[in-house]
């Protein structure tokens, strides 16, 4: 076991049963002209974590531990997108509309791609998910069972939406979860702070939280 200094208690993980899940580091959320900006958000906040996420991915690759990437997006005919999701908010462009990076939040469009800085490499699982949580309507649960994974480390965007939802889904399924707090970001700093705090509250009700340097030091 490797033990990481974390809140609210040291996080111990068996490296051979631990995977990294990088949530939705895709152009639609992180680059200008995508879905995130269409909702009125400032994407520059999210770009600040790219180097830390890259270092985190690099650590897992160096160790030979699995890296799993997710992308939020929908079929071209939007058959897997509930009308309530299309209606949500007051975006300048809606899911399925044509934007500067192709159709917003549609699989295979340029905006749906993972950003160039964090591209998956051969052999890494990429989960296309229609929801906020990466377990809903995907193969993720089966993939993790096949790999014998019991512990999950989380990074990506946005902290209070897709990252938190997926951590809660994982927690309910019995995975031991760790959030790397400087490898996740929100368009709203106060939501990120609240989410990081509530995950670790009540004795780690959803999981543990720690900065990347703590995991790096423990893994050295």
Q: Which residues bind ligand TIU (CB under 6 A)?
A: 24, 29, 39, 72, 157-158, 161-162, 187
Task: Pick the catalytic residue from 7, 17, 28, 162.
Answer: 162
Which two structure tokens, joined as six digits, stand for 7?
Answer: 């809140």
CA 152, CA 154: separation in Å to the nearest integer?
Answer: 6
Rounded distance between C-alpha atoms, residue 193 and residue 200, angstroms: 11
Q: Name the minimum Å distance from CB 14 to ligand TIU.
A: 28
Which residue lies nearer to ligand TIU by CB, 4 or 157? 157
Q: Of these residues, 7, 129, 132, 192, which one is catalytic?
A: 129
Active-site choice (17, 24, 132, 177): 24
| Shortest distance in whole angstroms from residue 70 CB to ligand TIU | 8
Q: Is 177 a catalytic residue?
A: no
**Distance (Å, rounded) from C-alpha 209 to C-alpha 200?**
6
**Contact predicate 72/107, CB 8 Å:** no
Q: Assess whether 129 carries a catalytic annotation.
A: yes
24 is catalytic: yes
Q: Which residues contact 28 (CB under 8 A, 6 or more apart)?
A: 34, 35, 36, 72, 73, 101, 104, 105, 111, 112
Tell me the closest approach of the beta carbon of residue 149 to ligand TIU, in angstroms. 21
Q: Could you give the residue numbers annotated as active site?
A: 24, 129, 162
């Amino acid at each position: 076991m490797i033990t990481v200094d974390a809140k609210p208690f040291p996080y111990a993980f068996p490296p051979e049963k631990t995977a990294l899940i990088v949530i939705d580091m895709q152009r639609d959320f992180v680059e200008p002209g995508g879905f995130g900006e269409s909702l009125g958000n400032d994407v520059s906040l999210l770009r600040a974590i790219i180097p830390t996420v890259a270092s985190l991915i690099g650590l897992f690759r160096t160790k030979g531990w699995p890296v799993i990437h997710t992308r939020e997006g929908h079929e071209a005919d939007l058959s897997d997108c509930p009308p309530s999701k299309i209606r949500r908010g007051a975006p300048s462009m809606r899911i399925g509309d044509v934007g500067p990076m192709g159709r917003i939040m549609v699989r295979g469009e340029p905006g749906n791609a993972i950003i160039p800085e964090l591209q998956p490499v051969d052999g890494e699982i990429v989960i296309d998910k229609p929801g906020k949580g990466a377990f809903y309507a995907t193969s993720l649960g089966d993939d993790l069972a096949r790999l014998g994974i019991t512990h999950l480390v989380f990074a990506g965007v946005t902290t209070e939406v897709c990252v938190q939802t997926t951590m809660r889904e994982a927690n309910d399924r019995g995975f031991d979860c760790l959030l790397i707090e400087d490898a996740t970001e929100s368009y709203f700093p106060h939501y990120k702070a609240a989410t990081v705090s509530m995950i670790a509250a009540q004795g780690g009700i959803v999981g543990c939280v720690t900065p990347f340097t703590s995991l790096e030091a423990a893994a050295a």
